[in-house]
Every structure is written in structure tokens, then in C-alpha cells.
Structure 1
Amino acid sequence: MDEPITPTSPIRLLLHGANGRMGQALLRLAAEQPDTFTLVGAVSRKVGQRVIDGVPQFASSELTAAPECDVVVDFSLPEAFDGVLAYCVEHGRALVSGTTGISDTQRAALDAAGQRIPVLWASNFSLGVAVLADLVERAARALPGWDVDIVEQHHVRKLDAPSGTALTLGDAAGQGGAIPRYASLRAGDIVGEHTVQFATLGERIELTHRATSRDIFARGALHAAAWLARRPPARYRIGDLLG
């Protein structure tokens, strides 16, 4: 990065995946925080107008022409993920990504990138979900032998199933020694609902998180971007923000 970020200088943010629902929420909420962020550009698969509300627009193929930035926030698709990760590594940009459905190979690339730049990937940027994952791991460890089922619900346009958040919760259960099962529902405009059920003979525990607004994820991602931009290279996780 060309100039160090001072405690008072706005963070230069580049948004990758601007046309999606999350991208639109991020654009709106970042614009409401001018003291924290300067939105230097928005990247989408295709571009119509070159400037929208004062923000320069770039096609994915033009990523290398985007302005200098301190952090890239990526909510795109798995097929676009490799390009933005390579761009951040090559140019020394911090990367916050919420792109779901990425492969094991792409996860390994994130680990490798963390040796050169600060990177934070999460399937869900809700701090409530981060706390839920901690509770799931603790419950799984305390309840050996119980059945663990994860039920997730999302809007009909969501493609990956189980959701990335469900898999993250399953990983947490696995850390506690459980073997989770998954069920996925796609209906209407559900923003996101995840229930982790622990069951045995005669009793059942349910831990549930419901999101009613996509803004909670966008706010969490922007909070992560402000935090990550001032961190040294490493592979960070959303739980790191809780400390």
C-alpha cells in the first residue's frame, strides 16, 4: 500500500460484486460512513454507467485498472473469486470476502494469501452468528452422543446448499466432536435462518439465529474491513473481531 493508514484517515474501499444484493447494501451503508470509508470504486461483471452516485464503476475484466485502495470487500461468485484474490495478493490489498460456495482449493489459496496480505473470509458476517458458532462448539463438546442437525432457510435465489453459514456451524459442531446432518429450505425472500438442534432420548436443545435484514451482514463486513485494513498479513476469522 502506497501510503500508511493513519488513525484519522478514511479507509479506501473497493467493492467487488457491486451488483448483487449484498453489494448494493454495502454501497449504501459505506456511503453513510464518509469519516470511515472512501469508496474508490465498484466492480461488477458488466458495467453500464461509468459513474454512479460519484462512485467509479469497473467491469471484472478491468479490475487491475481500479484505483489504489486499502481493502477490497468481495461478495461475488466462486468463479470470480480467484481473480480478486490474485489481484489483492499482487497489489498488497487487504481482502474481506463473503463469497460462498468456494472450493477446498480456493480455501487453501486463502490460507496461502494470508502469508502475504491480511485476509478475512466468512460465510456470514453477523456477529450473532459468530457467537452462535461458539455456542454450538461448546454444546457439542458438552453433549457427546447427541444427534446434531442443522436446518437452514434462505430466499429462492440462493444457489448453494447447505449454505456457507450452515457449513461453518457444522465445522463448529465437528470441533466439539459431533457429526452434523444438514437440511436446506429455499422459499420466498427469507434473508437467512439457521437452527442447530441437539437431540437425545427425552430432550432437545435448539439454537437459532434469524436475520431479518441483509444490512446486518453488510454492517458486519464493513466493520471487518475497517478492522482488517490496519492488521498485518494473516488469515483472520470473524471470531477474531469479538475479542
Structure 2
Amino acid sequence: MIGIGIVGAKGRMGRAIAAVLKEHERARLVGGADRGDDPTWLAEACDVLIDFSSPAALAGTLAAAEAAGKPVVIGTTGIGDEHHAAIDRAARSIPVLQAANMSLGVNLLAHLVREAAARLGPDWDIEIVEMHHRHKVDAPSGTALLLGEAAAAGRGIDLAAHSERGRDGITGARQSGAIGFASLRGGSVAGDHQVVLAAEGERIELGHRAESRDIFARGAVQAALWLHGRPARRYAMTDVLGL
């Protein structure tokens, strides 16, 4: 049995992961840490850390994992360039898997979006629409940005330089080659994402709907089991899928 420690244990995802571990055949819950807790003891006690805390807590998680020499799976969203730089530094000494979305289905969707964008070319407009529950604090969602990065990679362009967000009022015509984002919030939606590729006279829609947070929890545990025993490096869910 692989011992899992959860950072952000009292959050929605932390509780969902704990529920999955109660009935898992290959993994068990060692314990959890939350806001204000020092995760050092947890890193020392477990085989793999799973972090679903907050961007502000990520540095502490990485430091604890490095000190204990333990792998860490990071599902925290809303992280910026400085957090990615810290993940890269940690991945020199320990295996780190970071993903904006732990769903295997979403990560396969990102692969399909990249392939579609590469083959269809800039004449096809790309729009990404996402909807989440009313409590979500960041927009666009980390998953929407993951899909946007996949589309940009397929086209060989930089997403930051080609994204359009928050259109309102007289915005003018859509910029050629732009990747658009729209964020919806309401109710208890676990996560809906749709990528629309539109050309003159035709449209392709690729999407994913999360009906429960359990899919993210199961994906995180699967990622942790896969990561255990791997060499130091930065990994992604595409590695788990073998893509």
C-alpha cells in the first residue's frame, strides 16, 4: 500500500481524495495538513504528497517534499510564473507532477485539441468556454488555460500574446489567430469545458463535462501511484496517459 499525504485536506478536493483512499486497493491515507499547518511531518510520514491547497502554500509543500525526498502531485490551480519556476527547481531533486486538471478525460481532450489546432490552421477560430461552481475564485479556469496552451502549442504560437478575454462593449472584429476565453460561474457545476473550432460554414466542438469531483480525486490518486518510484523530473498527466 502506498501512503498518501494530502496538503489542503479540509478543502473540497482534499475531502474527495480522502474518500477515494478509504476504499482504494493500492493506496491509503497517511494524514492531512491544512492552512497554518507545517507539512514537514506529513512529507516525512507518507510515500507521496498530493497538494490541493493554495498558491500561497505551494512553496511550503515543495520545501517539505524536497527535504523528505518524496514525490509530490500538485493539483492546486491559480498558480503563476513564480510557482512554475519553483516547481521546476524542485523537480531537479524530486519527481513532481503538476496538472491544472487531474481528470484523465480532460488531459486526453487537451491532446485532441492540440492535434486539431495543428491540422486545421489559423483560418479556424478557437474559442474556449468554461463553467464552474459559484465558489471558484480564479478565471479562466486552470483547465481552460490548459486547453488554450494545447491549442497554442498546436499552432506554434504563444498563448499570452494571442488570447482574448472578457469581451465587453464595442470590441471590434475578432483578431485573426486569437484564442478566445469565456468564463461562466454558477450553482454547483464541478467543471464544464468546451473548445469550439469555427471556420466558414462549419464548426467542430470538443468538450468534457465533470459530473463529480470524484473524477479529479481518482485521477490525483492514480497520478500519485504512477509517480511513486519515478526519477526526479517534472511530469504531467500526459505522461500518466502515455501520450
TM-score, normalised via structure 1 length: 0.87
Equivalent residue for 1:108, pick from 85, 110, 120: 85
What is aligned with 1:6?
Answer: none
Displacement, 1:65?
Answer: 3.1
1:28 maps to amino acid: A
What is aligned with 1:216?
Answer: 215
Displacement, 1:13?
Answer: 1.1
Aligned mates of 2:28, 2:16 — CA distance in 1:
16
Q: Extract unaligned runs of 5+ from structure 1.
A: 1-9, 46-59
What is aligned with 2:202?
Answer: 203
Higher RCO (Cα < 8 Å, 6 or more apart): 2
Displacement, 1:173?
Answer: 0.2
What is aligned with 1:69?
Answer: 46
Aligned mates of 1:78, 1:110 — CA distance in 2:
12
What is aligned with 1:149?
Answer: 127
Deviations 1:39-71 (A, max 9, x none): 2111112xxxxxxxxxxxxxx433223352111
Displacement, 1:179?
Answer: 3.8
Displacement, 1:231?
Answer: 0.8
What is aligned with 2:22?
Answer: 31
CA contact (8 A) 2:10 2:34 kept: yes
Displacement, 1:175?
Answer: 0.6
CA contact (8 A) 2:40 2:65 kept: no
CA contact (8 A) 1:173 1:179 kept: no
Q: Secondary structure of the equivalent of 1:125? A: coil
What is aligned with 2:12?
Answer: 21
What is aligned with 1:118?
Answer: 95
Q: Secondary structure of the equivalent of 1:61? A: coil
CA contact (8 A) 1:191 1:214 kept: yes
Aligned mates of 1:207, 1:65 — CA distance in 2:
43
Q: Secondary structure of the equivalent of 2:197? A: strand
2:226 maps to amino acid: W
Q: Secondary structure of the equivalent of 1:208? A: strand
Q: Secondary structure of the equivalent of 1:232? A: coil
What is aligned with 2:117?
Answer: 140
Equivalent residue for 1:174, pick from 131, 152, 163: 152
Query: How many residue pairs align between the two structures?
Result: 219
Runs of 4+ in 1 over 4 A off after TM superposition: none
Aligned mates of 2:63, 2:79 — CA distance in 1:
15
CA contact (8 A) 2:134 2:185 kept: yes
Q: CA RMSD in A?
A: 1.1
Aligned mates of 1:113, 1:179 — CA distance in 2:
34
Percent of residue pairs identical: 52
1:63 maps to amino acid: P
What is aligned with 1:194?
Answer: 193
TM-score, normalised via structure 2 length: 0.87
What is aligned with 2:62?
Answer: 85
Aligned mates of 2:95, 2:179 — CA distance in 1:
31
Aligned mates of 1:70, 1:194 — CA distance in 2:
33
CA contact (8 A) 1:74 1:96 kept: yes
CA contact (8 A) 1:17 1:44 kept: yes
